[in-house]
A and B are shown apart, each in its own frame.
Chain A
Amino acid sequence: MVRVQEADFDVGVELAALRREHPQVGALVSFVGVVRELNDAAGVSEMLLEHYPGMTEKALAAIVDEARRRWTIIDATVIHRVGRLLPTDQIVLVAVSGGHRGEAFAACEFIMDYLKTRAPFWKRELTADGARWVAARAVDEQAAERWQG
């Protein structure tokens, strides 16, 4: 299940949904991304997240499908927020259910690494020096490349 929304999400509710009525689930792995107050040595007072409606949902669904091809998992939930966010706010949830933890851990990390480099979201930060678009980081590209080949 993939969702793009302005509203916050409740990790407990989402994890419960992944195990409810699925007695074969033995492992739930989740990652939550959070707005940092300090980024590239500047204080961030506010963040605006923009996306490409339509393509975003397709890209996220394709990433989850690819994870299902690579690992034996039972289900996955990806929720990404857009709009105005403040430091300490949750940005993204990736949660994966599986029979055992190994495949669920790997699938969760893979989905997050691919989301970072393939899903059309853009962050704009407000700092004391004004607004700026967040630059893509080479380390994120390298993290995604680990899964190739």
Chain B
Amino acid sequence: MLKILYFASVREKLGQGSEELALPGGVTDIAGLLGFLAQRGGPWESLATFRNLRYAVNQEMVRLDAPLRPGDEVAFFPPVTGG
């Protein structure tokens, strides 16, 4: 299973803050997972075009080609605005 978290405007757009998902067949990295999620249609399509979307795996910021394994915690969020 993957634990997926959505934060801030991403969470708002999708209407949910988290989900558990079995690693879909053929999905090996963040780019693949994004493609899988966007195919759900409706608000999920926005993930494919979200401007400057950021991703983290196991609480570390990563790039689109970061590999995914069962048990990973994945997060999608907009650019950070703290401070």
Contact = CB atoms under 8 A, between A and B. Distances in A.
Say which size band chain B's interface belongs to.
10 to 19
Given A55-B56, A122-B7, A33 B78 contact: no
Contacts, number: 73
A54 B83 contact: no
B15 to A, nearest CB: 15
A73 interface: no
Say which size band chain A's interface belongs to.
20 to 34
B81 A121 contact: yes
Contact of B9 (A55, A120, A133): A133
Contacts of A136: 52, 78-81
Instruction: Choose among B52, B60, B61, B81 the residue with the greatest number of A CB atoms under 10 Å from its CB.
Output: B81
Interface in B9-48: 9, 12
Nearest to B11: A50
A19 interface: no
Interface of A: 33, 49-52, 54-55, 58-59, 80, 91-92, 112, 115-124, 133-136, 140
A-B pairs with lowest CB-CB distance, top 4: A121-B82, A136-B79, A122-B8, A55-B59
Interface of B: 5, 7-9, 12, 52, 56, 59-61, 75, 77-83
